[in-house]
Amino acid sequence: MGPPDGYIPGVLCLLCVWFSITGGLAARRQQETVTDGVTSKNVLLIIVDDLRTSLGCYGDSIVKSPNIDQLASSSVLFTNAYAQQAVCAPSRVSFLTGRRPQTTRLFDFNSYWRKHAGNYSTLPQYFKEHGYVTMSVGKVFHPGISSNRSDDYPYSWSIKAYHPSSEKYENEKTCKGKDGQLHANLVCPVDVSKVPERTLPDIQSTEEAIRLLKTVKQQKSSFFLAVGYHKPHIPFRFPQEFLKLYPIKNISLAPDPGIPRNLPSVAYNPWTDIRKREDVQALNISFPYGPIPPHFQRLIRQSYYASVSYLDSQVGKLLNAVENLGLANDTIIVFASDHGWSLGEHGEWAKYSNFDVATRVPLMFYVPGMTTTRQMQQNIFTYIDPFNMKTVKKSPGKIREDPVELVSLYSTIAELAGLPSLPACPVPSFHVELCSEGQSLLPYFTTSGKESPETVAYSSYPRPSDTPQSNSDLPDLEDIRIMGYSMRTSDYRLTLWVGYNPVTFEANITDIHAQELYIVKSDPNQDNNLFNKTLHYDFAQKLFGHLMKWIAFT
C-alpha cells in the first residue's frame, strides 16, 4: 500500500513535458467520454478552509461575498451540506476518497490512509486515470503525514502539488501589536507590502492557479485543478483594508453566546487552538469555559468576516480568469469548505464539534449547460470589487434544501464530468480500492429534489474524556475514548456519545456517555437539548435506534 514500484522520491515532473505527452490523450478523452448523455468537462474544485455558511448567497446580510454569490447565481446550491468530521485532515481525506472517517480511520492528522486503512482511490486519481491532467494548488489534501508528506503525489496528481512560499509565515510573529512589536496573534490584519515576500499565501495560490489554467488552455488538455484557499482559517491574517468593510460598531455577538444549560460536557469544544495565540493569552481566559471578553469576541467576528471578503476577492480573480481564458463553457466549478467554524455560538470558537455551525458548509456546483443556459457572448464571471459593489444582489440559481454530505463529492463530480459511475461500497470496504460511501447528488441537478426520499447527513467527532481537557479539540488516535456520532435530518440533529476503542476502531453502543436531540425548526441554533425531556423521550429513543444501527455498520 506504499508508493508504486519504481517510484523515486524527489523526482521532478516537469509541467511542460507532462502536458506535451498527455495533451492529445486528454483532449480525445474529453471529446469521447460520455455518461448518461453528459459530455465530459474540465473540473475546477475550490476548497476553502474553515468557512461556515457566512456568505450572502446563504442569506448572511453582514458578509460581503459578491464573487462567490455570483458563482452561486449560476449554480446548484445546497443549503444543508455537512462535513463528516469538523477538522481539516479527516474531512478532506473523507471527501477526496469518498469514504467516511470510520473507513479512512483518520480522526487526527497522524496517519496515511493507504497504509493505515486501505489503498483507496482518490477523486483526482480517478480523473488522472481517465486521461486528465490533475493539479493541486494550496491546501487541498492536508499537508503532512495524513497525505504521506506529498499531498498523495504521484497517485493523485500529474505534477507535484504547489504550496505558496509565504505559507511558512502564517503562524510566525508578523502581526503588529499596539506596542509596535510583532506578535503571533489570532487577529492579524497586515500591510501586505510590509510582510515577508510582500504577499500572502492565498494571493500566491490564485496567481499559480491562473498560470496553470493558461498552460492547460494553451496545451488544450483536459484538466482537474483543485485550488485550496487558507482563509478564513486562523490566524486571521489578511490585508488590513478589508477591515473597512466591517466597522466594529456594526459587529454584534453571536445570538447564543452562552453555554447551553443542558449541553453535555463531552459535547463542548474548549477552543484550545486559539488560546495559543499571543493576543488571546494576554486576556488570561480561564479554561475550559472562558468566556472571551465581549470586545474581543467582536474583534474575532470582525476579522473572520474580513477574511471571508479577502477570500472572496481571490475567488473572484480566479473565476474571472476562467472566463477570460474562454474556459467557462467547458469547466465544472465546485465550491466547498472542509467544515464550518463557531463564532461564539454555544460559547465556543473554532470547529471541533457536531453542531451545525461546525459541520454545515457551503456547497455549490456550476455545470455549463446544466445549471446555466448562458449564451457564449455573455460574461458570467466578472470580477466584483467588494469595495465598489453594486446594490443589486444576485440570487442563488437552483436551491436544494435536503441534507447532503461532503463524502458525496467524489461520485457526484465524476458523474457530472461524464466519467463512469462509482460503485457503492460494500460493508466493510477496506479491501476495495474504488467505490463510494456517499450517494451521488446528480438527481438534484435534473429534478427539483422534492421527489427524493428523506435524506440523512452523518458526522462524528472524537473526545478523550467526558469533560473538557487540553486535548479535547483534537485528540490523537491513541487518546480517543469516546466518539460522538451525529445524524442530521431535515427536522432534527441527534448525537450519541459512546465508548470507543482506538486500537480495534470499534464503538461500544452499550457504553452510552451522553445523548442530544435538537428540533431544528424551533431551535435552529441547537441550544436546547431535549433528550431528557419526557415529552420527547420515546421519540428520541426511536431515532437513536436508527443512529445506533448506522454505528453498528461503520
DSSP per residue over 196-235, as a string? GGGS-HHHHHHHHHHHHHHHHHHHT--EEEEEEE-TTSSS
List the grid coordinates of 22.
498527455
* C-alpha to C-alpha distances, 417 to 10, 113, 369, nearest whole angstrom: 32, 26, 12
Is 552 buried (19+), middle (13-18) or exposed (0-12) by CB count in 10 A?
exposed
Confirm whether 163 is a catalytic residue.
no
Distance CA 78, CA 32 (A): 30
- Cα angle 165, 166, 172 (rounded to 5 degrees) comes to 130
CB of 101 closer than 8 Å to CB of 88: no
Kind and range of the H or E element at 302? helix 294-324
Nearest Cα residue to 328 out of 74, 158, 37, 26: 74
List the grid coordinates of 480.
480517543
Q: Angle of helix 409-416 relative to helix 88-97, nearest 10 degrees?
A: 40
Q: Which residues pair with 500 in a beta bridge?
A: 507
Q: Is the four-CA dihedral 341, 343, 345, 346 of positive or negative sign?
A: positive
Confirm whether 88 is a catalytic residue.
yes
List the grid coordinates of 473.
479539540
CB of 473 closer than 8 Å to CB of 350: yes
Q: Which of 13, 16, 57, 88 is catalytic?
A: 88
End-to-end CA distance of the chain: 22
Q: Other C-beta atoms within 10 Å of 449: how many?
A: 19
CA dihedral in degrees (276, 277, 281, 287; nearest 10)?
-40
- Per DSSP (E only), the strands in 302-412 are 331-337, 342-343, 349-350, 360-366, 398-400, 404-405
CB of 551 closer than 8 Å to CB of 507: yes
Q: Which of 57, 130, 142, 183 is catalytic?
A: 142
Nearest Cα residue to 234 out of 290, 286, 184, 183: 184
DSSP per residue over 441-504, as a string? -THHHHS-STTSPP--EEEEEEESSSS--TTSSS--GGG--EEEEEEE-SSEEEEEEEEEETTT
DSSP-derived secondary structure letter, 387: G
List the grid coordinates of 97.
476518497
List the grid coordinates of 83.
462535513
- Residue numbers annotated as active site: 88, 142
